[in-house]
Amino acid sequence: MGDINPFDGLATRYQANRPDYPRSMLIELKNRAPEAPRLAIDVGSGTGISTRALKRVLGVDWLVTGIEPGTDMRRQAHESTRPKDGITYVKGTAEALPFEDGSLGVVNVGQAIQFFDRPVFYAAVSRLLTTGGLLSVIQNNRVWQRSELLDAHETYVETNDPTYSRSYRDIALLEEFEEFAWAEKAERLEQLWERVIDADKFVGTMMSRQTMKPTVAKLGKTTVEKSLRALATVHGNSDGTVTIPYVTELFVAQKR
């Protein structure tokens, strides 16, 4: 992930509209964390949604730092995090993590692994984690296969941006984790759930996607927002809401 964050200009909308993570998945993460050292980092922390979730589930005894290259995202993270939460946000990238070897108990990634040079990142994780330390990747994925609305939205973006594919996050992470010579058996856990939101929240969620930028540049913000509202009307619920199916995935590997 380079110095220019693809979400620059989207941070406020991202924070206001993106969902949190299911507590059950966070508890699975916590149950695999070591007793010490109680130092965790959240890499590609964005507006801090995953960072704050990590802090909540690990507890007050853990020091949690968000690593984020984007100035706009870090600004929003600072604004959205209470001082008493005890979370630090610093500028940094997945490929150059400023920590000592063996110093970390947890390295977490939320919604960002597709942006990393993963081999470089994985090599760094193997050095930085303590024995028994945990690498976790957690992500909320919209399930377009179970939603006419999401399918129509993905088709709309693909039609207006030939460089875009709805399969951009189809990475064989479990297979990559299973190749780690330094780790115990890798695991993938999942939880299916639904989010019922109004049309404004649907538009805000989709407009917070960095993959929408080319479509907005081509058609204009007003036109795109109008099209998204039309999709919500056609494929929405009778009460004006829309139902968004999600699968939350948690990938974990523990250092030997």
Beta bridge partners of 77: none
Is residue 125 assigned to a domain? yes
Residue 4 pLDDT:
60
Cα within 13 Å of Cα(181), Cβ side = 3
Determine, yes or no, domain membership for 226.
no
In-domain check, residue 121: yes
From residue 151, give the alpha-carbon distance in Å to each of 4, 17, 146.
30, 20, 8
Give the amino acid at 168: Y
Domain of residue 98 covers 11-142+167-194+245-254
What is the spatial distance between Cα 136 and Cα 25, in angstroms, rounded to a whole number?
11
**Total number of domains in the chain:** 1
Looking at residue 2, its pLDDT comes to 44
Does residue 225 belong to any structural domain of this protein?
A: no
Dihedral of the alpha carbons of 29, 34, 36, 42, in degrees to the nearest 10 = -30
Structural domain includes residue 190 = yes
pLDDT on residue 1: 42
Residue 173 domain flag: yes
Q: What is the pLDDT of residue 244?
A: 98
pLDDT of residue 6: 82
Q: Are 234 and 122 in contact (CB under 8 A)?
A: no
User: What radius of gyration do the chain's Cα atoms show?
Assistant: 18
Q: Please count the other Cβ atoms lying within 10 Å of the Cβ belonging to residue 165.
A: 13
CATH assignment at residue 109: 3.40.50.150
Sign for the pseudo-dihedral over CA of 20, 26, 29, 35: positive
Which residues are bridge partners to 21 per DSSP?
none
Give the pLDDT of residue 47: 98
- Is the residue at 189 inside a domain? yes
Tokens at 47, concatenated:
């507006």
> Which residues of the chain register pLDDT less than 70?
1-4
Position 119 in a domain: yes
Write the pLDDT tens digit of every residue in 86-95: 999 999 999 9
